[in-house]
Chain A
Amino acid sequence: MKEIIQSPLLLTLVSIGLIYILGFSLVYLKKPTAAVWKWGLPKKN
């Protein structure tokens, strides 16, 4: 079991998964961030 829990393959797969989730969260963060900036910086009339 020790060989598997320390294997480079598992590390690579987990890293890919975490990078995918990080990218996903950044994409979904972009939309509300744009809305919040609009609240903070209202358009000048």
Chain B
Amino acid sequence: MGITKEELKKVIKSSVVFSIVPSLSIVVGLFALISVLGVVWSWWRLSVIGSLSYESLISSSVSTALGFSSNAEMLANATGREFGVVMILMSIGMLSGFFILIPFGKKLSMSVNKTENSSTWKYVLSGTFMLCLFAVYVPVLLFGDTIQAAVMLTGLVIAVGLGILAKKSPKLRWLGDFIMAFSMIGGMISSILWTSIF
């Protein structure tokens, strides 16, 4: 095939790294979700389909709707029926994405890729969309609870710091793949400190 042994080794190495590294943030997320939903359901949600941000948002929305002050309180006092509500919302609610994507996904993707003479707008559009999506969480976290806000800001500082380091130094470019995992771990560790202060 005309591939040298060195090239093959390089491909195997990068494949291994890119298979393991993205899963690190999922593993960290799993530990965060276990404290809210237990081992089994968190394992199911994060192995098949789902993301930490979606699952934690749903569980906190349900806990608020059911009159609990936090996820921890819901875990301690809720009944099986309330857990059923969480399960149904997570499973059925997520399907809305598929129902939109099945008829429109291909058309949307093709129309974005096909557009000529507008090489930058699609990146701006998708970037802005993601930014708006995350911006919804910020006021909730920032003005809800002091510890929550402090943890969020710590994670933000770590993420921005690592992003700058990864961009500026070619030797530290690998850090770019670990930003989410490091900022989550950093945020979790910092929560111990913030809890003792506030």
Name A's B-contacting residues (CB within 8 A).
1-7, 10-11, 14, 17-18, 21, 39-40
Stretch at the interface among B75-83, B121-129, B189-197: B75-83
Q: Is B102 an interface residue (CB 8 A)?
A: no
Partner of B79, one of A1, A21, A39: A1
Does chain A have a CB within 8 A of B174? no
Q: Which of B43, B74, B75 contacts A14 (CB 8 A)?
A: B43
Cross-chain contact A1 with B48 (CB below 8 angstroms): no
B40 at interface (Cβ–Cβ under 8 A)? yes
How many angstroms between the C-alpha atoms of A4 and B78 in the bound complex? 10
A sample of 5 more A-B contacts (CB under 8 A), given A5-B39, A21-B47, is: A1-B77, A1-B78, A1-B82, A7-B40, A39-B1
Separation of A39 and B3 alpha carbons in the complex (Å): 12
Chain A min CB distance to B78 (Å)? 4
Q: Complex formed: what's the CA distance from A40 to B8 in Å? A: 12
Which chain A residues border B44 with CB–CB below 8 Å? 14, 17-18
- Contacts A1-B83, A4-B83 given: A14-B38 contact, CB under 8 Å? no
User: Can you spell out 21 A-B residue pairs with CB atoms less than 8 angstroms apart?
Assistant: A1-B75, A1-B77, A1-B78, A1-B79, A1-B80, A1-B82, A1-B83, A2-B75, A5-B38, A5-B41, A5-B83, A6-B38, A6-B40, A7-B40, A10-B41, A11-B40, A14-B43, A14-B44, A17-B44, A18-B47, A40-B1
Cα-based distance from A10 to B39 in the complex (angstroms): 10
Q: Which residues of B contact A3 (CB under 8 A)?
A: 80
Q: Which residues of B contact A1 (CB under 8 A)?
A: 74-75, 77-80, 82-83
**Which residue from chain A places its CB closest to the CB of B74 in the assembled complex?**
A1
Within B19-51, the residues touching A (CB, 8 Å) are: 37-41, 43-44, 47-48
Chain B: minimal CB distance from A7 (Å): 8
With both beta carbons as reference points, the residue of chain B lying nearest to A12 in the complex is identified as B40
Cross-chain contact A2 with B48 (CB below 8 angstroms): no
Contact A17 B48, beta carbon cutoff 8 Å: yes
Q: Decide: B38 and A2 in contact? CB cutoff 8 A.
A: yes
- Measured in the bound complex, the distance between the Cα atoms of B124 and A42 in whole Å is 44
In the complex, what's the smallest C-beta–C-beta distance from A14 to chain B, in angstroms? 4
Min C-beta distance of A1 to chain B, whole Å: 4
Q: Which has the most chain B C-beta neighbours within 10 Å: A7, A11, A14, A39?
A: A14
